[in-house]
Amino acid sequence: MQDIIDRFISYVIIDTQSDPNSTTTPSTKKQWHLANKLVEDLKAIGMEEVNIDAQAYIMATLPSNLDYEVPTIGFIAHFDTTPDFTGTDVKPQIHKNYDGKDIVLNKEKNIVLSPSYFKDLLLYKGQTLITTDGTTLLGADDKAGITEIIEAMKYLIEHPEIKHGKIRVGFTPDEEIGRGAHKFDIEKFNAQWAYTMDGSQIGELEYENFNAAGALVHIKGKIVHPGYAKGKMINSMHIATQFINGLPEDETPENTEGREGFYHLYEMKGEVDSTTLQYIIRDHDNKTFEARKQHVHQLAKVINNDLGDTAITVEIKDQYYNMREKVEPVMHIVKTAEAAIKEAGITPIIKPIRGGTDGSQLSYMGLPCPNIFAGGHNFHGRYEYVPVESMQKAIEVIVNIAKAVAKN
């Protein structure tokens, strides 16, 4: 357990926040700090063919120890953290033998992680939790996944009596801004299938995810002196309010679950003469996904017609698609993971992802890639935590998958 804790903490204290406004890969220079460390760590445990390319994509190989051929499989995780909440100066806190009560993350600022609100905490009573200090995110998404993959490879190297085929490992930048797989070299990776270790609660196994798009809405206005504004001023923020209210108020992240889609306004910047709205659009069903995008365009058209002017312009870009279409033809890879989870003494939780992973894009690029739990909770914020025992079980699942592929 201590090795897992030490490795995980050595990763989360390195700031790797990505930037959606950057045009480089990786999107931030600071991601290189962890990327280079991961290269050294992979070499240190004895992995072979360890390399990092000019965009910070990392690949490595654990050679087969079999005298017969089996499929080459892969395990993938990302090392960036979300731009939505700060990952600078992370101070992890370790809580051993959690007692099921409130955890004071920051006494000075009265920030409390409470099971009265985050009920999942009670699943981990008696376990060791790693939390934030309440001022940053933790980075378990997805540095827990990286830790688990490296520790699993280390375990297999130290236990050559465990038979396994060739295993490829891949670590990517910029997953949190939807670009993690954009420059991933599938041919170079050369695996028949892979798994992202990027899920949340222990037991999760996912091969469905949202179809996703980003929408940039720009509203232009006209500014004049407010004392002489009658019939002249056009306040773009008022038009923006009309646009916001024109979308279904019950189809937002806080009002939906399961396979229900949503419109999520995550950023708004406005002045009288110019306002921008940034949305993400999500839906599991492709037809409904297309209808949502069309609805945004139509709403802008209606408001523009009412105004008699092209005040609103909309730009929508697709980000990724539901991997189910690409995974269902090879469902044996999901069944293999499900059996590995059960072998670890865990009840599988097979459900759609209310988000996306590198695996969704990789599946469309030709590398079927379901998603397995990494163990963390409350990603992208100050209340993020991960039970160390969940990370231990994730490592066990990786080893179980390697053994199963060798047998089959």
The residue type at 354: R
- Could you list the beta-strand ranges (E) of 141-249: 167-172, 193-199, 204-206, 211-220
Q: Which of 175, 198, 206, 283 is catalytic?
A: 175
Distance CA 361, CA 262 (A): 20
Residue 83, Cα to own-chain centre: how many angstroms?
12
In terms of Cβ atoms closer than 10 Å to its own Cβ (0-12, 13-18, 19+), residue 388 is buried
Q: Is 104:98 a contact under the CB 8 Å cutoff? A: no
80 carries an active-site annotation: yes
Active-site pick, 15, 19, 41, 80? 80
Is 175 part of the annotated catalytic residue set?
yes
Q: Burial level of 397, CB count in 10 A (0-12/13-18/19+)? A: buried
Bridge partners of 279, per DSSP, are 215, 265
Q: Which two tokens stand for residue 236?
A: 């773009």
Q: CA-CA distance, 60 to 212, in Å (whole number)? A: 30
Rg (CA), the chain: 23
Query: Which backbone phi and psi does 113 adopt, to 5 degrees?
Result: -95, 110
Nearest-angstrom CA–CA distance, 42 and 65: 18
For 242, the token pair is 């009309």
Burial degree of 182 (CB within 10 A; 0-12, 13-18, 19+): middle
> How far is Cα 158 from Cα 152, in angstroms, rounded to an integer?
10
Active site residues: 80, 175
